[in-house]
Structures are given as C-alpha cells and as structure tokens.
Structure 1
Amino acid sequence: MHPMSFKALLSIACLILVTGCASVPMESAENNMKAKSFPTPEQGKSGLYVYRDSFVGKALKKDVYLDGNCIGETADKIFFYTQLAGNRTYKLSTESEFSPNDLVLDINAGKNYFVRQFIKVGVFVGGAGLESVSEEEGKRVISKPDVNLAAMSGHCDHPSIKPAANAAAQK
C-alpha cells in the first residue's frame, strides 16, 4: 500500500472514531436557564463557565479538574457553571492523551470567566486543551439552544490529578 494511502485511511478511521456522540449527566431545564442568564456572581465570588462545542471528538468524554479535583466529564455542546471564591488563582485541567493540559486562571471577584475546552487529534485517541475566551464569545456559544448545562457530577475516569506544585504555591 502506498504510504499516502495508508495515511489517508488512518485519518478517515480516526475521524469516524471521534465523531459519534457521548452523553454526560445533565442539570434540570430550570438550572440550565438560570445559568444561561449569566447572573452576577455573589459578593466576593466569581462565575466560571467551562464549555465544549467542537464537532471533532463528539464520541469522547473528557475529564475536567479544578485544582486537581474532578468536576465532571464533558461532551459536545455542554457547559459547566460554578461560583468560586474571587481574587485568587485556580488551575483548570483537562484530561488529554498522555498527560493533563492545564490553564491557570487569575480570578477577580464580581466577574464571570469563560473557558473553552477543545478536542485535538492525537496519536491514539483525541486529546483536549483549554483556552480562555472573551465574555462575548462565551455568552454567544452558551446561549445557543442546543448547548446545555451539565451536572458537576464529580465523576471522572481518574477522580483526581496531582496539582502542580507551582499552581498550589500561587494561591
């Protein structure tokens, strides 16, 4: 077989494997609508939205951690919402192919923050990454009718990951 043909077949096989759909525990319709109203956080707190909206990797569920503790698994077109103590640093992590990918967030009280989880092609299975997005972009995606609030179930394939020493020292 020609090397280019093998690469093409491998790419197609990977695409088929990562474009199914996955499901995770969801919140009630009432809680979904409340979170989509983008409330001002309580006094001294910040709002954190973590969402996933990529077509690639629909069959994959990916763990998300806050300071090393599982908050839940993501799937396509879902988001998490929580309020955190403001004016501090947090480490958000996502399961990836070989090791977690991290995003350090400096959170100020009284604001909502938005993080997009994205799926990327891996060697054996799709990996995941995290990126901060603007409030405008986060609200645009989360406001779509087919994007819904997932329960912060605390269920992950690996219940906790060891936080990096430097992230813990920044707190």
Structure 2
Amino acid sequence: MDPMLIRNTLFSAVLVAAAMATGCASINKAPSAMNTEAKQFNTHPDYAQVYVYRNETFGAALSMPVSVDGRQAGTTGPKSFFRFQLEPGQHTISSQNGASSLLLNTEANRNYFVWQEVKMGLVSGGSKLQVVSEQQGRAGVQQCTMIKSNL
C-alpha cells in the first residue's frame, strides 16, 4: 500500500477522533444566579431535590437525555447538571430511552445525586446512571454548570 495514502488515512482518523473528543454537545444553560443557588444544596421541606450531573468531558459531542417517570427531565452535555424536585416516593430515572435506568426512593427534605457516566460503544455513546453519596455528588456538581430542567 502507498505510504502517502496510509499517512493521509491515519491523519484523517486522528482529526476525526480529536473533533469527537473536543466537540461540544448543545445544552441549555441556566442563568448564573440559578447555578449559584443550586450549589448551596438547600433542601425543601416538602420535596426531594434530585441533582443529575455529568462531570466528564469524555463523549463531549454527545447530548444525553434523562427522563423521570417517563417524562423528559433534561439533556446533559459535558460538565453539566440539572436539578428538579420530586414528591416523596419511588421514581424511575432513565437515560437514553431506558438504556440505563434506576429506581430512586425519595424522602422530603433530602438531596439525591445521580451521576450520569458516559460509556462509549462501538457505534455510539451510552450512559450509566448511578446514585452516589451526597459528598461525591456535591463534589461532582461543583465541577459542572447548571442547565435548565424540563421538570
């Protein structure tokens, strides 16, 4: 095979990989005042506060939808989070049309943190939702910028 063709093919592959790694998913940022208030982690006496965050840049070109009880809650991008309130009780949080889901039993006056980890597949990216401790969740949210939730 022609060495120049091999070199050009490798160069093109590197450019595509770099673009995918540094691309940016389109997200709807919340006003900075909302971002600041959310990062105070105040609780609500009647509801559970749920933070969904994605503190990675891996898979930056991918927007990842999140649903709660079958309703679209928002779409994350790299280094983003959103927050919403839920009635106490059991709720299903899912990502990418149910490809990853979890049951969350909530109580009023508490914060819950769900980490959306990016998982790369052969053809496209995916995600894995995980409930994490308040300490880990707060640290992850601090690394992110708030986006608007649909809930």
TM-score, L = length of structure 2 = 0.83
| Counterpart residue number, 1:32 | 35
Over aligned residue pairs, what C-alpha RMSD do you find? 2.2
Is this contact kept in 2: 1:18–1:126, CA < 8 A? no
Please give the alpha-carbon distance, in whole angstroms, between the structure 1 residues aligned to 2:69 and 2:18.
33
Runs ≥4 residues deviating over 4 A: 11-15
| Counterpart residue number, 1:152 | 149
Query: Per the alignment, do residues 17 and 94 of structure 1 end up closer, same or farther by CA in structure 2, a change over 3 Å counting?
Result: farther
Q: How far 1:106 sits from its partner (Å)? A: 0.8
Please give the alpha-carbon distance, in whole angstroms, between the structure 2 residues aligned to 1:13 and 1:90.
42
| Counterpart residue number, 1:90 | 91
CA radius of gyration, larger in: 2
SS of the equivalent of 1:34 reads: helix
Structure 2 unaligned segments of length 5 or more: list them: 2-9
- What whole-Å deviation, never above 9, does each CA across 1:66-117 have from its counterpart, x for those lacking one? 011101111011101111112x000000007xx5210110111111000000
Q: How far 1:12 sits from its partner (Å)? A: 6.5
| Counterpart residue number, 1:167 | none
Please give the alpha-carbon distance, in whole angstroms, between the structure 1 residues aligned to 2:117 and 2:16.
16
- The match for 1:81 among 65, 80, 83 is 83
SS of the equivalent of 2:121 reads: coil
Is this contact kept in 2: 1:51–1:116, CA < 8 A? yes
TM-score, L = length of structure 1 = 0.74
Letter in 2 for 1:35: A
The correspondence of residues 39-118 of structure 1 with structure 2, limited to 5 A, is: 39-41=42-44, 43-86=45-88, 88-95=89-96, 100-118=99-117
Is this contact kept in 2: 1:25–1:153, CA < 8 A? no
Letter in 1 for 2:105: D
Please give the alpha-carbon distance, in whole angstroms, between the structure 2 residues aligned to 1:14 and 1:104.
37
Please give the alpha-carbon distance, in whole angstroms, between the structure 2 residues aligned to 1:61 and 1:94.
11
